[in-house]
Structure 1
Amino acid sequence: MATLGGLIKDFRIQKRISQLEVATKMGWSDTTRLSKIEQGRTSKPTRSVIDRILDALGISESEKNELLLFGGYIPDPTEIKKGINDVSEKIDSWPYPSYLIDFTWRLLYSNVPGTKTFYAPSNQILKKGNANLLEFPFLPDFPLEIYKGEDEDNVAPFTVAQIGQFKIEEHIRSEESWYRKLIGRLMKNETFRQTWAKVTPNTYKKKLVDYEYKIVKGSWTGKKQTLRFHILTSKLISDPRFQLVMYLPVDKETEGFYANKSYLKAQ
């Protein structure tokens, strides 16, 4: 099984750089510390240490971000700003819900259709990185009834689907500090706590990673409406720690909801 230290070693060997060269650039007296990192015989290096090692190796920005994703290093505020800048024009021009998340499911930026449809916070709040998609169905008085899954006939309630998908995607990160903080905070919610205990990765079965079918029921304009979407997700080439999410209407009713800008009436 690949490890972060092993990948660092692979890059170092590919670039024909010795451990001593890296250690010298790091200001370390010998190669002991680097050797332990490469062999996985030490705790997870801090982000600053990893940045310095990768800079010493002279790898490209895209290679660096791949390693940061593999190592589970969440984007910092500067990187969030860059990620938003890379796709904000595409998100804002999309006529249906679209938003940017990172691999921890933090919701970082949304267009107006997305914000209004799902009653999300403003982008000024989202940019701070405190909103997470896992918590949305467990918010007090959440005004929407949502189901998602593979297709119309294979969907699960939002609470079950979110936890099931999260466990599928994030099981290898359960020891990360961000994971523990998020789950620890949500465990204070009784509904979340009960649902988390009973949902396993097998409860919510998906065949595709980057596609979902979603049904959203709400009363945005004062009358009950049902919206149906195909949802496509794509990692950013520049930094795969970020994912662009784009919604496509399944039927004429959903398409008309956005063509008529009915979502603007949502409070």
Structure 2
Amino acid sequence: MREHQALRAEIPADGKEAVVREVRGRELQPLVELEDRHRRQHDDSRPTPDAVSPHTRARGLEFPRGPRARGRAAQRLRHRRPAVNVLILDDRGQLLMQRRPADKENGGRWDKSVGGHVSAGEEFDTTAVREAGEELFDDPVSPRVRLARDRHEFDALERSEDLARTVLFYRASFQLNLRDVRHAPDGGRRNVLYHLAIYHGRTAVPLEDFRPQKSEIDELRYVGPAEVDQMLLDARLPPNMAFLWLTQGHALLGRNRAPGRR
């Protein structure tokens, strides 16, 4: 076991953790259980109970096992991936954005502050911290990344942390079964289904103090809300980022204008 500085918690060395956390004061069940519940509500043609092994369910993953689970279930699960997206504002209400390299999906477009896919057995929060460290400081366990347990702790840490050195965020939302359209490097398009944990955060780290991951980021910028709006209208945002800005921007900017914010 080792202690992760940003999460302030012990993490198994092999990273095999169940995907269980808190969302708005309620336990976040493993992805497979959330997906099973959604399917039961909306799909009468579901696999039998023996289609999922207890071992894989405990890890937050589902692999088809019984004959009725093969085929449709396998195809559905193959294309649905858990992911994390982080939106970070500076002390002037500008959004930290990254420009994607030309040889990556959505190349040349301006994207969210941090984003990435959850590895098998990894928790959403662990992924968010790791991706923020990798993409912003080229260090997956950077001490400059701090995750708050919830909004209450975030508010307290926002007042006490040195935001000129720290990127601070908390999980604000969780979305199941989203559909995305991505621009491929060869000019084609790819449809992706995924589950998404969304994080809101603050920082006052100057641009020159970041060490962006060269393989994932061409450029980092703080961008004002009006310019982000124009980027959306000019189709300079990936579809996923347009979705995030339209659904999360109001709450994110509203917090920045709240009384007592630095």
Q: Which has the larger radius of gyration?
A: 1
TM-score, L = length of structure 1 = 0.29
Whose helix proportion is higher, 1 or 2? 1
Larger RCO (CA within 8 A; separation ≥ 6): 2
